[in-house]
Amino acid sequence: MTTGMSTAGVHRGFLRKYGGFMFKQWKEKHLVLTMEGNLLVCRDAESPPDQVVALQTSCGSIVEGREILDLPRLPPGGRRDCCFALILPQNKFLLLLTDTPEDCNLWLNLIRKVREGVMSPLTLQRRCSITPCITDRDPLPDSGSEKDPGSPRTCEGTPPLGQVPERGGSLRDRRQNQAAGARRPLPNVSVAPPHRVSDCLRHGNSSDARAVRAVCLLMGGAAASSALGYLSSCSPSSPLASRGPEMAHGSGVFSELPAGGSFHACSQDVDSPNFNSFDFEGDSDFDAHILSIPWFGTVLDSTLPWFTNHLIICHLVRPVSLMKRSAKVGRHELRPSAAVREAAQAAHRFPVSRGVEEWIQEESQHLRGRIDSFKGNLPQLDKIAPFKSFLKLSETYGPVMTLHLGRQRTVVLVGYEAVKEALVDQADDFMGRGPLPFLLKATRGYGLGISNGERWRQLRRFTLSTLRDFGMGRKGMEEWIQEESQHLRGRIDSFKAAPFDPTLLLSCTVSNVICCMVFGQRFSYEDKQFLQLLNIMSEMLKFESSPLCQMYNVFPWLMERLPGRQHYFFARIEELRDFIATKIHEHKDTLDPSSPRDFIDSFLIRSEQEKDKPTTEFHHDNMVSTVFNLFLAGTETTSSTIRYAISVFIKYPDIQEKMQQEIDSVVGKDRCPKMEDKKSLPFTYAVIHEVQRFLDIVPLNLPHYTLTDISFRGYTIPKDTTIIPLLHSVLRDDKQWASPWTFNPQHFLDQNGNYKKNPASMPFGAGKRACVGESLALMELFIFLVSLLQRFTFSCTDGPDSIDMMPEYGSFANLPRRYKVIATPR
Ligand code: HEM
C-alpha cells in the first residue's frame, strides 16, 4: 500500500475503504486529501472521485479502530489499530483501513487537524514530514479536463479524462515528463459529472428505518446490522443513535443475527471474487470488466432491461442465502413478486415475501441510474455501426477525442493523418494491444494476436520470419495458391452455371493456403472435419459481432455463470483448439529437426532449443494460440473479401468486363496468373484495392492500448487507455479519396491508367502491429480473383440491382451480404 504524501497541494495515498451500511468486501481505494480539506475517494489514481467528503462540514466525528465495538471481519493481515471511521451525515460512514498503524496515525492526525481547522491543509503540507509524492494539480472533481492542459478533447457525457496519473516519483520527475510531453491546452466540451445515487436504500440515505432494515436484509443482512450496531454504540452523535431501539445492535429484529464476520460465511458462489464484483459503488471488478471492449459495449443500452432484471435476481440470491441463518427476519412478512420469488426459491428454496418487491423496484431504479453512469458515451453511439458515430462525433471534437465507453477511457483517432501519425510515426507508443475478453478466453491469453511486451515481440518476429521461410509473399506460396485456385475453379465448374452460395467454398480455398503453411497439408473440400472447423470459424466471426458476444465482453464474469449460447460457442472453440493440439501432437511424432515442414515444426524446433530457458515464450500454450490466430485471422477476412469482390463484379458488369479484357490480353485464358502480372494488370489491381477500401472489413481496427503514458500531438494519453485507430475514417477520408463514398477504381489509378498506391489504403492497419498476413492476403486476392475471371463471368438471378453493396455492419467486422451467384464459364 502506498502512503500519502504532500507538499504542493494534495495529500495522496491509498487506504482501504469500507462504505455504506453493509459490509461487502474491503476495496483498495485511492484517497486524496485536497488543499480545500476534501477527502476524495477514487477508484484509482486516474479516476474521478467516487465520493467527496468535505471534512470540515460533512464529517460528524472520527472513530478509531480500538473504539469500534463490532468491527466487520478484516481482510488477511488487517489490524484493528489500522482502522478508523469517518461518520458522515445522513447515516453514512466511511471505514478506512491502512496497511500499518503508522499510516493510520498519519491519516488520522492529518484528517483530524484539517477537520477541526487547527491547520489549513496548506499549512499542514508545509509541516508534514512525509516523503513527497505530490501533484501540483488539484484533482477536485470540478477541476476536470477543462483545467487539464494535456488531455485529448472529451466528448459530451464523458467523465473527464483522468489527469496523468501520479506514478510515484518526485515533482522534478514529473515536471521533466511534462516538459517532454509538451502538452498543449484544449478547451473541454461540457462534461457530465459522474452520476451519483442519492437517497439510495442500500447506501443508507433513507431515513426510513424499515427501509434500511430491508436493505440490510437484501444486501447483506447480518453484517449490515452489526455495522449499524457498531455505529450506534460508538458514535453517540451519529444520527443513527436516535433511530430507535430496533436499529441498535443486539436489539429488535436483527438481535439474533450473527456478527459481521458471518457475512463471509455464505456459500462459495456468493463469496467468489467474481460474485462480489457486483458492487454498485463503482469500485469493483464490475467496473474493471465493464465495456473494456468499446464497440462491444454499445449494446448495453438495448440490453439494459434484461441485465437489470438479472441483476435483481442475482441481488436476491445473496440475501436469501444469508437469511437462512436469520430466518426470524421472515416475520416482517416480506413477499416478493412471483418472478423474484420463483428465482429465489429455485436458488435457495427459501420463501421471500411481498414487501421486498417495492424496495427491489426502487433499488432497481438506483441500479439503472448507476449503470447509466457506467455507460459513459455509449448512449451516443450507433449500436450496430459504432464507427459511424465516431466519425460524426469527430466533426465536433476533432481527430483525437476521448470517450468513455463504459468506464474504459478510450481515445479514438480519426482520419488518415491522426492514424498514420500514431501507428506509423509513433509506432512504439501505439503498439500495445487492448484486452478483448472474448479473445482472451478463446486464446487463454496466449498467442500473438492478444499479447503485449516481450511475448508479443518474440512471437511476432518468429511468425513473420517463419511464414516468409515457408513462402509467404514469395514464389513458393504463389504455387500453393495457384494450385488451390485450380481446385476452386474445378469445384465451381461442377455447379454448371446453377446458382450457388460461394461462402463455404471460398473459406475452404483460402483456409487451405493457411493450412499448407501451418499444418503442411491441404484438405479436400469434402473433408467432414475440415468443413466442421470452417463452420466453427464462420460461427465465431458471427458470434464476435453479435449482441451476445458484446454482453460477454462487457460482463464476462456474469456471462460465464449464466446459461446461454455463449457456452455453446466456447465449446466449439475448444473443438478448434483440440484439432490444433492434435495436429501439434502428430507433428511431434514425425518431427525431423533438420527439415521443418511447416510453421508447427519450426515452433517445435524452437521450443526444443529454448527448453532450458525459464522465460521462453516458445511453449505449448503460445503455439496453440498463435496457430489459432493464424488459422482464424487468415481465413474469414480474405475469403469474405473475395466474396465481396464477386458481388462487385455482379453489381458492376462493366467493371467485370474491363477486368476480363485486361486479363485476357495479359495472361490469356490458360496460363496461371502470377503476382508479377499485377504490373501489367493495373485496372484489375486497382479494383482489388478498391474492393478492400469499400468493404472496410475491420472498421474499428483491433484495439490498441497505451502501455505507458504517452505524448501525442501535444496531449498526454495516460497508460492503460484503449486506442481506436479508426480505419473506417482512413478508408473514407475525404482529404485522401476523390469520392470516398463511391466505389471507384480510379482511386488507385493515375491519369495514364497506371496503378497508383495510396498511403491511406490501410485495410490491414499500419505500423508495428499491422497484419502479419498482409502480403499473403494480397497474393491470394490477386491470384484467386484473376483466375476466377479468366474462367467465369459472374451474375445472379435477380440482376445487378439486387446486389446491396452495403455490408452487414457488425461491431467487429463488416461482412458482405450473402447471395447465390451464377458462374457462367467463358
Ligand atoms: C483481407 C485479409 C486481411 C485483413 C483485411 C486483415 C486485417 C487485419 C487488421 C486490421 C489487423 C489489426 C492491425 C492492427 O492492430 O493495427 C490484423 C492483425 C492480424 N492479422 Fe490480419 N488481415 C487479413 C488477413 C490475414 C491473414 C491471411 C493472416 C494470417 C496469415 C492474418 C493474421 C493476422 C494476425 C496474426 C494479426 C495480429 C497481429 C499482431 O497483433 O501483431 N491476417 N489483420
pLDDT digits (tens, 9 = 90+) for 787-811: 999 999 999 999 999 999 988 877 7
447 Cβ below 6 A of ligand 1: no
- pLDDT of amino acid 624: 95
Any atom of ligand 1 within 6 Å of the Cβ of 515: no
Burial of 60 (0-12, 13-18, 19+ CB in 10 A): middle
Q: How confident is the model at residue 39 (pLDDT cuts 50, 70, 90)?
A: confident
Higher local confidence (pLDDT), 166 or 761: 761
Distance CA 518, CA 604 (A): 12
Residue from 283, 35, 46 nearest 160 by CA: 46
Instruction: Name all contacts of 177-181 with Cβ < 8 Å and 24+ positions apart.
Output: 177/709, 178/150, 178/716, 180/711, 181/150, 181/709, 181/711, 181/714, 181/716
Q: What pLDDT does residue 127 have?
A: 41
pLDDT category, 770, cuts 50, 70, 90? very high
What is the whole-number distance in angstroms between the Cα of residue 639 and the centre of ligand 1? 13
| Span 449-474, pLDDT tens digits | 999 999 999 999 999 999 888 776 55
The predicted-structure confidence for 67-91, as pLDDT tens digits, reads as follows 776 677 777 778 888 888 888 776 6
Ligand 1 center–CA 652 separation, angstroms? 28
pTM of the predicted model as reported, rounded to 2 decimal places: 0.63
pLDDT range class, residue 673, cuts 50, 70, 90: very high
- What average pLDDT does range 124-129 have in this prediction? 39
Ligand 1 atom 41: residue of nearest CA: 769
In sequence order, what are the residues at sequence separation of 6 or more whose Cβ sits closer than 8 angstroms to the Cβ of residue 723?
Answer: 410, 411, 412, 413, 422, 430, 432, 434, 703, 704, 705, 706, 717
- pLDDT value, residue 165: 32
What is the mean predicted confidence (pLDDT) over 704-730? 94
Q: Which residue has the higher pLDDT, 322 or 553?
A: 553
Quick one: pLDDT band at residue 339, thresholds 50, 70, 90? very low
**Which atom of ligand 1 is nearest the CA belonging to 463?**
35
Q: Is ligand 1 within 6 A of the CB of residue 771?
A: yes
pLDDT tens by residue, 639-651? 999 999 999 999 9
- What would the DSSP string read from start to end of 88-131? ETTTEEEEEE-SSHHHHHHHHHHHHHHHHTSS-HHHHHHH--SP
Mutation choice for ligand 1 from 617, 698, 771, 776, CB with most ligand atoms inside 8 A:
771
Q: Where are the beta strands (DSSP E) in 418-574?
A: 432-433
Q: What is the ipTM of this complex?
A: 0.99
Residue with the larger pLDDT of the pair 110 and 445: 445
Q: Between 774-791 and 653-666, two packed helices, what is the crossing angle to 10 degrees?
A: 90
pLDDT value of position 74: 79
Place of cell 475517494: 41
Over residues 130-156, the mean pLDDT reads 38
Question: Atom of ligand 1 at shortest distance to CA of 630?
Answer: 29
> Which residue would you say has higher pLDDT here, 771 or 361?
771
- The answer to whether 70 touches 260, Cβ cutoff 8 Å, is yes
Residue in 764, 776, 778, 782 to alter for ligand 1 test, most ligand atoms within 8 A of Cβ: 764
| Per-residue pLDDT at 82 | 82
Q: 546: which 3 cell numbers?
A: 453479435
Confidence of residue 373 (pLDDT cuts 50, 70, 90): low
Neighbouring C-alpha atoms within 13 Å toward the C-beta of 676:
6
Give 241 Cα–ligand 1 centroid separation in angstroms: 64
Contact call for residues 440 and 450 (beta carbons, < 8 A): yes
Q: Which atom number of ligand 1 is nearest to the Cα of residue 450?
A: 40
Ligand 1 centroid to residue 44 C-alpha, Å: 34
Q: What is the pLDDT of residue 35?
A: 66
Quick one: average pLDDT of 354-370? Answer: 64
For the Cβ of 776 lying below 6 angstroms from any atom of ligand 1, the answer is: yes
The mean-pLDDT minimum among 378-387, 611-620, 694-703, 755-764 falls in 378-387
Given a cut of 50, is residue 484 above it in pLDDT? Answer: yes
Is residue 771 part of an annotated ligand binding site?
yes
pLDDT above 80: residue 513: yes
**Phi and psi angles of residue 825, each rounded to the nearest 5 degrees, phi first:** -60, 145
User: How remote is the CA of residue 764 from the centroid of ligand 1, in Å?
Assistant: 6
What are the residue ranges of helices labelled H in 634-696? 636-651, 653-666, 682-695
The reply to whether ligand 1 has any atom less than 6 angstroms from the CB of 443 is no
Across residues 594-613, what is the average pLDDT? 92
Is the CB of 404 inside a 6 Å radius of any atom of ligand 1?
Answer: no
pLDDT in tens, 493-502: 999 999 999 9
Ligand 1 atom at minimal distance to the Cα of residue 449: 40
Please tell me whether residue 483 adopts helix, strand or coil conformation: helix
Return the pLDDT at 370.
Answer: 65
